[in-house]
Amino acid sequence: MNQFQYVRPTKTKAAIEALAKDANAQFIAGGTNLLDLMKRGVMTPPRLIDINRLPLDKIEKAEAGLRIGALVLNSTVAEDKLVRERHPLLAQALAAGASAQLRNMATVGGNMLQRTRCSYFYDTAMPCNKREPGSGCGALEGHNRMHAIFGFSDKCIAVHPSDMSVVLVALDAAVLLSGPKGERRLAFSDLHRLPGDTPQRDTNLEPGELILGVEIPDSPFTRHVHYLKVRERASYAFALVSVAAALSLDGNTIKDARLAMGGVAHKPWRLSAAEKSLIGKPATEATFRQAAELAMQGAKAFKHNAYKLQLAPNTIVQALKNAAASA
Amino acid sequence: MSNTALFQDKVVGDRMNRVDGRLKVTGAAQYSAEYQLPGLVHGALVGSTIAKGRITGIDTKAAERAPGVLAVITHLNSPKVPGFAAKSNPDEPPAIGQPLRVFYDERIYFNDQPIALVVADTLERARYAARLVKATYAPEEHRTNFEANKERGVLPTQAKRNPKSPQNDKDRGQKDGYQTAPVKLEAEYRHPSEMHNPMELQSIIAHWEAPDRLTVYDKVQAVKGTQRAFAKDWNLPEDNVKVVATFVGGAFGNGLHNWPHETAAIIGAKVTGKPVKLVLTREQMFTMVGYRPYTWQRIGIGATRDGKLVGITHESVGQTSSYEEFTESTLQQTRMMYACPNVSTRYRILGLDISTPIWMRGPGEATGAFALESALDELAHLLNMDPIELRLRNYADTDPDNGKPWSTKYLKELYQMGAERIGWSRRQLKPGSLREGDWLIGYGMGVGTFGANRGAAKVRAVLRQDGTVLLQSATTDIGPGTGTAMVQIAADALDMPTDQIRFELGNSTFPNAPSQGGSATVNTVGSAVLAACIDLKKKLQQLGGASFANVQPEQLTLTNGQLGLKANGGPRTAFADLCKANNGQDIEVTTEAKPGNERQQYSMYSFSIHFAEVRVHALTGEVRVTRLVSGADAGTIVNLKTAGSQMIGGAIGGIGMALHEGAVMDDRFGRYVTKDLADYHVPVHADAPPVEVFFVGKPDTIVDPLGTKGIGEIAIIGVAPAITNAIFNATGKRIRELPVTPDKVLLA
């Protein structure tokens, strides 16, 4: 690990000012990802701004819905009564992530800013445009079992690893930001970006911006929801494919639906066309299969991830079946 | 867990808690990296970033200037290790060739080969400075792709040199006789390299106590072997090298070789004149300290329509490095397990620009059993026959490989006991028949075997003036609970309470014992404990004088601080008086025990059986092992608790082998893309179902006087095929390449 300076402001304004002074500085909260990256030499921030003492650790009812502070722990959100009542899908996704020990350290803000788990990104002896722009994409012609089938570019085919983000995209959440130019609100679906020619940028955060929290609007998706994460072992692994499925049912008829996928793109992948196709239809496997096929339009596989073309639609179907069956 | 009630009134057979359990769970047990030495400094290794070629330059200036740095050692400035001029340095070279000589010259043989050691006052400063070392290379074209080079596999040199080597091709009956069978099949099986990742990282503290006296606190499975290796390296008398490995946090074979980092630390200590601690990073565990090699296998198997085997041909190619020939007994189970008139075996190795493999739990046999036990299952399916029935129809009553009688073999009992426990009758012959919701359910089984080995060992036994008995032997305990078992054996042999007996191991100053490997420690060292205890009793008998002159040692008891007779009312003499009679000294004997010629007369093996129940998701291809039953015919079970734990650990390791573990190489760079425990999966708790363990529990007194046969290896051998056979039974999909991940299930 490199040497670094460390500061621990107690006020949000001070934290933002500290970052403004040093463009290479990094905020640190739980550190569950950043410390690994620093130990491996992937990230070498000269200064860490510890934000754990900022007053951003509340879950509150807000006008538009539920507001969750950036510093609330993943385990706290997963167990919170309000969250479980109003957004059980979010609780499920958080419980599916990492391990109990990590969930007890990781924060909501840090969760959405996780860097990709692409092996080429993690090894400084390998090419990676995200880590070192211009060095090439190691995964493109290399091992790409875990990689994207949507929205990639020839510069980067990595996927975003967060489970929580998949649900926040599905539930039309917004992320609340504060920066040198003041506060702003960003649709969660606009937080993460596709790699294009600048895969080094994971998000649309402006320089110096701090995440204050997220807001999730109230919704009818409180019963028939399921977060299905398919992975290579029963726990503590990143998704091969994950699906957040939420249904609003009238009898067996689908009134409204939300669908998003993880493990398939550089950002959480909202399946809007598939959602629309579900509305007004009976909640049957045939309906779900049609939606899944719609969702897969435009998907393209690489050498080692062709299985995702089969796994992804199957996972959508299974998640919808589970959502419809849950009460 | 059950055990035949053989051990009434004996400590052997008890579920005794580990003698060092408290030390381990409270953190008081000292592992290699935990010794506090005055002036201790820290090392960090720099690895190469090419797989083959030469180092053309190393810029160490920035590292040397970094804070706290004491030395940066490379091939350009390393002191010459005297033994490097000679061939080979490890104890029992696992390979023909030249073990990597660290910092010897500019050659690069594999990616992440150690090219520099930074020594600094703190770990953080050493690791930081290591990052500042920059090397330039003249790369050469490397070969790391096993499949692309498979045809280049060669007969191992040891087989070429020695016609009697088991690595030679061997035909029993007609060559490739399976081809004449009315029912036959051919199939290829693959398993990837599996990387050694015990919880404790490889670590060493090297301390030159004088210019010609070296002490190492080293994570090894052989303290005497390591002592000999380093004495040879540094041209020292063996007694000038002391190796301490009192506690080892799991090793699985990984500590049976001396690796480059160990010598790097010793060089670092030489250069700086200070004790150097070197702990590998988790990433370095994937490249520097061995692994179970990638292996390709092909089986041809044929039978009559009523299930009598006609022939088996089993070929394999195993991976090794370009500089050492690592071999293992992949084909042994095929040679001896089934009564089959025609058996052909052909073993090859393939040298690649990758570091040398090393034994991993059930070495060779676990690999071979995956192919053999899968092929049996495939054949049973072709015959529309129960796989147990097929095995029973080809049961070998004597060793078909050499015609010798078995010392003991209770495999029929294992089939029956295991089938009852898993509920084998639920299994349907037709795959895909059992289903609950979206989950397909299947049952599978596999057999394992490993030689019941025994070597020579010495044990010192001392009756001390405080009334306790101390036993010492230079074996190690990599986790099975060796000390506990030895105390139990001694307690019976001495007729003395266990809490008055101590067993010390893991120190090269103790009497000679072999490495802890090959499931042989209890057979070997336990027999020596038994012999030493009997000798100690004889010595006490002499010191006790006339009243004990005419009794057998078995009739003597060491209870209540007295030597006495087991029968009530006999004479008793206080230990203190015995010591007085011994000139006021502790009473000490050192005894060696070794095998006789039984191996010439008998074939000696442990056997295991594993049954798996799995669920496979019809849409996502996820596999869950929901139950495992593992049984062993391993002779006398000294401690039901620790033996049971070994079986459970092996079974869970087998889940990893079947479903999770696999190193992935990017051949463009000759570099692994899986090099941490996020990318390289092992089972977590959620993957490990309840494992029901049972033992036949019948002693084999031909192997050794205790009747033990060994458990460590057979605990994993046969588990992976039990699981993949169950996946076939659930889905009708036969996946012949490990690990069986959801993508393979979906695309099969």
Query: For position B407, what pLDDT does the model report?
Result: 98
Kindly determine whether residue B686 and residue A311, on different chains, have CB atoms separated by under 8 Å: no
In a domain, A53, yes or no: no
> Is the separation of the CB atoms in A119 and B674 below 8 Å?
yes
Q: Quick one: pLDDT at residue B84?
A: 87
In chain A, the residue whose alpha carbon lies closest to the alpha carbon of B656 is A233
Instruction: Return the pLDDT at B11.
Output: 87
For chain B, the residues whose C-beta falls within 8 A of a C-beta of chain A are 49, 124, 127-128, 131, 283, 438, 617, 619-622, 624, 659-660, 664, 666, 668-669, 671, 673-676, 678-679, 681, 683-687, 741-743, 746-747
Instruction: Give residue A172's pLDDT.
Output: 98
With an 8 Å Cβ cutoff, are A307 and B747 in contact? yes
Pair of tokens at residue B744: 């393979």
d(CA A71, CA A110): 8
| A119, A307, A314: residue with CB nearest B673 | A119
Helices A163-170 and A88-95: crossing angle in degrees, nearest 10, is 160
Residue A105 lies in a domain: no
Instruction: Give domain status of residue A72, yes or no.
Output: no
Whole-angstrom distance, CA of residue B439 vs CA of residue B436: 5
- The tally of CA atoms less than 13 A away on the side-chain side of residue B388 is 21
Q: How big is chain A by its Cα radius of gyration, in Å?
A: 19
Q: Do B687 and A235 touch (CB under 8 A)?
A: yes
Q: Is B149 left (phi over 0), alpha (psi -120 to 50) or beta?
A: alpha
A212 and A69 in contact (C-beta within 8 Å)?
yes
- The beta-carbon neighbor of B620 closest among A117, A123, A314 is A314
Q: Is B592 a catalytic residue?
A: no
Which of B540, B741, B505, B722 has its CA nearest to residue B621? B741
| Closest alpha carbon to B307 in B242, B388, B211 | B388
Q: Does residue B523 contact residue B704 with C-beta atoms inside 8 Å?
A: yes
The whole-angstrom distance between residue B747's C-alpha and the CA centroid of its chain comes to 34
Residues 245-284 of A with CB under 8 A from B: none
Task: Please indicate, yes or no, if residue A289 is contained in any of the structural domains.
Answer: yes
pLDDT recorded at residue B9: 66
Smallest Cβ distance to B683: which of A99, A231, A233? A233
Q: Do B678 and A117 touch (CB under 8 A)?
A: yes
- How is residue A153 written in tokens? 């570019």
Those residues of chain A that have pLDDT short of 70 are none
Please state, in angstroms and rounded to a whole number, the distance separating the CA atoms of residues A261 and A263. Answer: 7
Number of helices (H) and strands (E), helices first, in chain B? 20, 33
Residue A176 lies in a domain: no
With a CB cutoff of 8 Å and minimum separation 6, the contacts of B662 are: B191, B192, B193, B194, B674, B680, B738, B739
- Angle B527-544/B482-494 helices, nearest 10 degrees? 30
For A142, name the nearest residue in chain B, comparing CA atoms only. B666
What gap in Å lies between CA A130 and CA B586, rounded to an integer?
A: 70
Using a CB-CB cut-off of 8 Å, the residues of chain B touching A145 are 743
DSSP β-bridge partners for residue B277:
B42, B205
Question: Domain residue spans in chain B?
Answer: 21-28+455-594
From the number of C-beta atoms within 10 Å of its C-beta (0-12, 13-18, 19+), residue B26 rates as exposed
Task: Return the residue of A nearest to B626 by Cα.
Answer: A234
Residues in B touching A119 (Cβ below 8 Å): 673-675, 679
**Pairwise CB contact (< 8 Å): B671 & A123:** yes
Q: Which residues of A touch B131 (CB under 8 A)?
A: 2, 41
* Nearest CA distance, B748 vs chain A (angstrom): 10
Number of domains in chain A: 2
- Kindly give, in sequence order, each residue whose CB lies less than 8 Å from that of residue B55, ignoring residues fewer than 6 positions away: B48, B75, B106, B108, B115, B135, B136, B137
Pairwise CA distance, residues A128 & A32, whole Å:
22
Q: Is A262 in contact with A242 (CB distance < 8 Å)?
A: yes
pLDDT digits (tens, 9 = 90+) for A43-70: 999 999 999 999 999 999 998 899 999 9
Tokens of B629: 């039953």
Q: Which two tokens stand for residue A2?
A: 């490199």
Quick one: tokens of A116? 């990709």
Q: List, for chain B, all residue ranges whose pLDDT scores fall below the cut of 50.
A: 1-8, 89-93
- Domain B21-28+455-594 = CATH 1.10.3720.10: no
Using the Cβ of A289 and the Cβ atoms of chain B, whether some distance falls under 8 Å is answered with no
B693/chain A closest Cα distance in angstroms: 23
Strand B69-74 and strand A241-250: pairing?
Answer: unpaired
CB atoms within 10 A of CB B80: 11
Asked if A5 is an interface residue toward chain B (Cβ–Cβ < 8 A), one would say no
Close Cβ partners of B27 (under 8 Å, ≥ 6 residues apart):
none
Question: How much of chain A exceeds pLDDT 90, in percent?
Answer: 97
The catalytic position among B151, B554, B713, B737 is B713
pLDDT attached to residue B422? 98
Interface membership of A125 toward B (CB under 8 Å) = yes
Handedness of CA B473, B479, B480, B483 (dihedral sign): positive
**Is the ipTM here above 0.95?**
yes
Q: Do A314 and B681 touch (CB under 8 A)?
A: no
Rounded-to-integer distance, Cα B144 and Cα B294, Å = 11
Q: Residue A312 falls within a domain, yes or no?
A: yes
Look up tokens 């930081």; give the residue.
Answer: B128
Phi, psi for B413 (deg, rounded to 5): -60, -40
Asked if the Cβ–Cβ distance from A126 to B671 is below 8 Å, we say yes
DSSP string for residues in A198-252: -TT--B-PPTT-EEEEEEEE--S-SSEEEEEEE-SSSSSS--SEEEEEEEEEETT
- Whether residue A100 lies within 8 A of chain B, CB to CB, comes out as no
**Residue burial A150-182, b: 16+ Cβ < 10 Å; e: rest:** bbbbebbbbbbbbbbbbbbbbbbbbbbbbbeee
Q: Is A122's Cβ below 8 Å from some Cβ in B?
A: yes
Which domain range does residue A23 map to?
A: 5-47
The Cα–Cα gap between B88 and B94 comes to 10
Q: According to the model, what pLDDT value does residue B95 have?
A: 58
Crossing angle of helices B719-731/B640-655, nearest 10°? 50
Encoding tokens for residue A93? 């996704």
Decide: B555 and B732 in contact? Cβ < 8 Å. no
How far is the C-alpha of B666 from the C-alpha of B674, rounded, in Å? Answer: 9
Residue B519: HSE in the Cβ half-sphere, 13 Å Cα cutoff: 31
Q: Do A233 and B747 touch (CB under 8 A)?
A: no
Using an 8 Å CB-CB cutoff, list chain B residues near A237: 681
pLDDT at residue B2, rounded to an integer:
38
